Amino acid sequence: MISTMGAVRAGFAKLKAQSFSILVLFLYQLVWGWLFYRFIRSVVDPLLHRYPGGGSSKEAVELFLAEGQFRLLKSDLAEPYLWTLAAFAAVRLLLTPVLNAGLYYSFHRTDLNPGYRFVTGVKRFTMPFLFLHLFRTAVILAPVLWAGPKLWALLHQDISLTDILWTAAPYAAIWFVGALLIHLLLMHIQFAIVSEAGWWRGLNAFGRGLPPVLGSFLLIGAASAAAMTAMNAASLIWAGIAALIAHQVQYLASICFRLWGLAAQHEIWSDRQ
């Protein structure tokens, strides 16, 4: 039975067969980031043009903020922006399982041409992946939607923010662990789906391989966090074109770490069959 370090090493070795998937995800992130940037800029630029200059009085700034608060709360100014954000979220929700279907099938059928296996995975498995993605989103968001109004009500009572955070912290930790386990469980179920072995095989593989499943996820996650922190620090220190290059490299590195984690989980799943 494969160990945590064995899965991590085998997953890293599998990355070289996923160059097409890395390219697709990088272009997807690049286009998505550009579109979202354009949207944010279309919102922020008009506000900056109306903002009082550096030499303005404190009263002018307060008037600007009061006017903005009034227009947000008493008019439908924010409505088109909220609908646009909802559209972004809906598109992201739909595209994620499409990409995952091609990605998981690419790990399963490394004997096929990279582009062909990715497109085949999208064609054959988008619908079951979409169902699982919607199920995962609903299960993870349900406690948040339940607890949100209660926390909002507490904020309007005579209770300090520190006490509210201390009260909510254990529940937030339980929610985080539960969301993580659901995420990893569905990864193995999706591996079973693309191999056409039946979703219960994924459930069985997850249960039998839980220690290396968690160990490899945490190990690669820690390496990813350390690398992202170092790259963020470098982009803050450098300026100009160097910072831009570092930012794009960060996108590419985050994709590689994500696929490394996915490859390690696939290795564990294959070992438990």
- In whole angstroms, what is the distance from residue 193 CA to residue 125 CA? 8
- In whole angstroms, what is the distance from residue 211 CA to residue 206 CA? 9
- Helix H or strand E segment including 225: helix 210-237
pTM above 0.95, yes or no: no
Task: Work out the angle at residue 11's Cα, subtended by the Cα atoms of residues 6 and 12, and round it to the nearest 5 degrees.
Answer: 105
pLDDT tens by residue, 18-48: 989 999 999 998 898 888 888 888 777 776 6
Mean pLDDT of the chain: 84
Q: 202: how many CB neighbours lie within 10 A of its CB?
A: 24
Rounded to 5 degrees, φ, ψ at 240 are 70, -140
Task: Work out the angle at residue 130's Cα, subtended by the Cα atoms of residues 126 and 131, and round it to the nearest 5 degrees.
Answer: 125
